[in-house]
Chain A
Amino acid sequence: MSANIIDQCVAQGVPFARDYGGLLDNRSFGGVLVSRTFYAKGQTGQQLLLGAYSAMNRQIARGKITPFNRHEMLDIVKVDGKARGIIARDLVTGKLERHSAHAVVIASGGYGNVYFLSTNAMGSNATAAWKIHKKGAFFANPCYTQIHPTCIPRSGDYQSKLTLMSESLRNDGRIWVPKNIEDVKAIREGHKKPTDLSEDERDYYLERRYPAFGNLVPRDVASRAAKERCDAGYGVNATGEAVYLDFASAITRYGKEQAKIHGIQNPTDAKIYELGKGIVEAKYGNLFQMYEKIVDENPYETPMMIYPAVHYTMGGIWVDYNLMTTIPGCYAIGEANFSDHGANRLGASALMQGLADGYFVLPYTIGDYLSHEIRTGKIPTDTPEFEEAEKSVKDRIDFFINNKGSHSVDYYHKRLGNIMWNKCGMSRNAEGLKEAAAEIKALREDFYKNVSVPGSADELNSELEKAGRVADFLELGELFAKDALVREESCGGHFREESVEEDGEQKGEAKRNDAEFAFVSAWEFKGEPSDAVLHKEQLEFNEIELKQRSYK
């Protein structure tokens, strides 16, 4: 499958890196020990997106796709139990539109912004997925979240989003904190620089704890290890939530290699640095520049500071093998659905899923459904079902506009984010999850009483757009906590403090409970998030043995 994807993308003109022989180049990536990942500088995902976008442009030009820019899907319309269309809002004019169809496909991405701060784009939201959930689509494994280890640490309360430094940096960067707490203090107070510390004074904690995988352990393991060091007081910035990602040894290693290639005998340290820096720049130049602009430090000269941040949600709308949800005729693809990744996601596989779902799976499976609809004809939009869906969308918009409250939408979103990060973040426990569910419910009630949305409904109104999205996050967050509470095991991105290995080589590591929890949690909406009903889909492993991986 992944080989097909690369072939497809190359045919579309995605400029994957080539080696000097003209063949595709490979590199290693988080969670693997061999070089087997194809790449386009430090922006593979962006280039694959642009490739998909170009394929769409071609279909638009041929009249096969009609794009509706600046529109938001605000509800799904069901007729006789089948998905038959959507209600959308034109975000420029505010006009509500009815669109009918024989099938509906949701490709609206994940819900990482339930945390307010994440690496997701600001506009990314769960509304489309949540609307279909409320109309009958099961929501699976909401608690499975990926917290990515290589992000730029937050700098203050005004922070609006977190920036991901590409995973590829872990190929060449070594992660460390000072060994001695005195050095941590000196660095925080500005008396010492990280480069002042000798090798003996540094704790390369991933290499120490996981000698086999070292800095390339999976994302959840790397994130928790950073949290463990920072919680113990070894964080290296003012907030105490940062570790170093150091490229000095990579620069030296590449520099020596280049000196050999160019036949330079006994190169000076300066020459090695110059040659090595050139290679690192060619590989990660854009990322280093991005870092320097944000943090105002030169990562070629001083180690980068990183800290984990919410990056991806493995949970999502439950789908069958044909990618259809529990609403007949409604499909969910990409990050919006729950499939493919389980409780954890390895580097590059979101790209694999997004492209495979859209290019290779859905085009074939949706045909089977549509073949039964071949005589259905055009679906009218002047029916009671469309009427009712449009009215409920309009009522909600009017409610927000008329609710002259005292707090902005962001006020609530930030509060929700705080609860999620503190109690449903990198590690979770039963007590915290119960508190989170109660706090989110209370926050939601306060939101409906006191939220303020300026402007009107018939214009471009970003506060109104955000209000609807945050209202949905306030429901999803509660279901998230409920799901995390039910799953009393540690598994991938979901780490329960009550479920850790007690002794032996794996002491302190996540402990799975396959006997009781080898199932997908698919939640059915019943009016309130707290009333959601759990359906368990048992996971069966036929070809491979189910066991925990060791990265030691």
Chain B
Amino acid sequence: MNLTLKIWRQKGPKDKGSMVDYKVSDISEHMSFLEMMDVLNEQLISEGKEPVAFDHDCREGICGSCSMFINGEAHGPDRGITTCQLHMRMFKDGDTITIEPFRAKAFPVIKDLVVDRSSFDRIQHAGGYISVNTYGNTQDANAIPISKYAADEAMDAATCIGCGACVASCKNASAMLFVGAKVSQYALLPQGRIEAVDRVKNMVAQMDLEGFGNCTNTGACEIECPKGISLENIARMNREYLSANIKD
């Protein structure tokens, strides 16, 4: 198929940036979206032009780095996937595809489609862990039985890959689905309960400090989340946050 691409080009963090049109031809429907971008970049290099910068690494939907906003949707027009798992069979010959970086105050653009998502890292530094040393002298893992239901629910929250699609999809650029998933994973497990109060307070404080917006229960994040993280995690985080502050 032949396609027209409208791609956000921005030389660096301080550059103003603009949309630029490109044409690609003979695109196979079996290609992944990023393989189509590879074809475009090879074409640009052969024409002596600069290729489009975009983040990517695992190309199997687990690293969360391919942060593209395609035709107005984070990771494009399909559900339960990242951009690298989006296939060209979702498009048809003659289509015009708009490709932008994830837009949020807390995700500044570095270049073209590459954004800086280190604000997510800093939220996790604030409390996305259990305080245990890695010296191997921990107690027997079976000493604390964990109900299968709690373990499964924690597992569902733990599948969050921190890609930021929730932020990009939210009209408020809220990170509450991401933070909710991290808070929930630990809050649901007995070993994480011990410091649950400090964790939720510290992570929420850092989230606000980074400039993410608030949740107004639209639910766009849940729909666009490649890992199907549920809004229940936001509710759980709010409950944790409220009870943590009452306890003070």
4 further interface pairs, Cβ-Cβ under 8 Å (given A10-B191, A294-B87): A13-B186, A17-B151, A23-B142, A294-B85
Q: How many angstroms from the CA of A41 to the CA of B11 in the assembled complex?
A: 42
B113 to chain A, nearest CB (A): 11
Of B128-136, B163-171, B234-242, the segment with at least 4 beta carbons within 8 Å of chain A is B128-136
Q: How many angstroms from the CA of A8 to the CA of B191 in the assembled complex?
A: 11
Are B146 and A22 in contact, with the CB atoms below 8 A?
Answer: yes
Residues in A neighbouring B48, C-beta threshold 8 A: 454
Give a binary string over A483-496; 1 marks a CB under 8 Å from any B CB, 0 the rest.
00000000000000
Residues in B neighbouring A61, C-beta threshold 8 A: 125-127, 129
Q: How many angstroms from the CA of A123 to the CA of B158 in the assembled complex?
A: 24
B94 within 8 A of A: no
Counting chain B CB atoms within 10 Å of each CB, the highest count among A55, A155, A158, A286 belongs to A158
B248 to chain A, nearest CB (A): 21
Are A293 and B85 in contact, with the CB atoms below 8 A?
Answer: yes
A451 to chain B, nearest CB (A): 11
Are A15 and B85 in contact, with the CB atoms below 8 A?
Answer: no
Give the number of chain B interface residues (Cβ < 8 Å). 70
Residues in B neighbouring A15, C-beta threshold 8 A: 151, 154-155, 158, 185, 189
A13-B191, A15-B158, A41-B155 known; A462-B145 Cβ under 8 A: no
Are A40 and B155 in contact, with the CB atoms below 8 A?
Answer: yes
Interface residues of B (CB under 8 A from A): 11-12, 28, 30-32, 34-35, 38-39, 42, 44-46, 48-51, 53, 56-63, 78, 80-81, 85, 87, 89, 110-111, 114, 118, 121, 124-132, 134-136, 138-142, 145-148, 151-152, 154-155, 158-159, 185-186, 189, 191-192
Are B35 and A359 in contact, with the CB atoms below 8 A?
Answer: no
A263 within 8 A of B: no
Q: How many angstroms from the CA of A109 to the CA of B44 in the assembled complex?
A: 31
Residues in B neighbouring A7, C-beta threshold 8 A: 136, 138-141
A166 to chain B, nearest CB (A): 11
Of A43-51, A216-224, A378-386, A527-535, the segment with at least 4 beta carbons within 8 Å of chain B is A43-51
Are B57 and A122 in contact, with the CB atoms below 8 A?
Answer: yes
Interface residues of A (CB under 8 A from B): 4-24, 40-41, 43, 46-47, 50, 53-55, 57-58, 60-61, 67, 69, 92, 119, 121-124, 155-156, 158-161, 163-164, 286, 289-290, 293-294, 296, 358-360, 363, 408, 410, 452, 454-455, 459-460, 462-463
Partner of A410, one of B38, B87, B126: B38
A43-B62, A61-B125 known; A4-B42 Cβ under 8 A: no
Partner of A122, one of B59, B80, B128, B132: B59
Residues in B neighbouring A50, C-beta threshold 8 A: 158
Interface majority SS (helix, strand, loop, mixed), chain B:
loop
Q: How many angstroms from the CA of A355 to the CA of B142 in the assembled complex?
A: 20
Q: How many angstroms from the CA of A20 to the CA of B138 in the assembled complex?
A: 23
Residues in A neighbouring B42, C-beta threshold 8 A: 408, 410
A43-B159, A61-B126, A290-B60 known; A16-B151 Cβ under 8 A: yes
Are A8 and B138 in contact, with the CB atoms below 8 A?
Answer: yes
A69-B118, A454-B49 known; A156-B134 Cβ under 8 A: no
Partner of B125, one of A11, A57, A158, A289: A57
Q: How many angstroms from the CA of A124 to the CA of B89 in the assembled complex?
A: 28
B60 to chain A, nearest CB (A): 5
Q: How many angstroms from the CA of A57 to the CA of B155 in the assembled complex?
A: 20
Are B128 and A462 in contact, with the CB atoms below 8 A?
Answer: no
Are A454 and B51 in contact, with the CB atoms below 8 A?
Answer: yes
A16-B141, A17-B151 known; A121-B45 Cβ under 8 A: no
Are B125 and A8 in contact, with the CB atoms below 8 A?
Answer: no
Q: How many angstroms from the CA of A32 to the CA of B208 in the assembled complex?
A: 49
Residues in B neighbouring A293, C-beta threshold 8 A: 78, 80-81, 85, 87
B188 nearest in chain A by CB position: A15
Are B85 and A57 in contact, with the CB atoms below 8 A?
Answer: no
Residues in B neighbouring A158, C-beta threshold 8 A: 28, 31, 35, 38-39
Are A463 and B45 in contact, with the CB atoms below 8 A?
Answer: yes
- Some 18 contacts from A to B, beta carbons below 8 A apart, are A12-B129, A13-B130, A14-B158, A15-B185, A17-B151, A24-B142, A41-B159, A55-B129, A121-B63, A124-B57, A158-B28, A158-B31, A163-B60, A289-B80, A294-B32, A359-B134, A360-B136, A459-B111
Are A54 and B121 in contact, with the CB atoms below 8 A?
Answer: no
Are B135 and A359 in contact, with the CB atoms below 8 A?
Answer: yes
The 10 closest A-B pairs by CB, nearest first: A22-B145, A10-B141, A54-B129, A11-B138, A18-B151, A15-B155, A15-B154, A58-B129, A121-B57, A121-B58
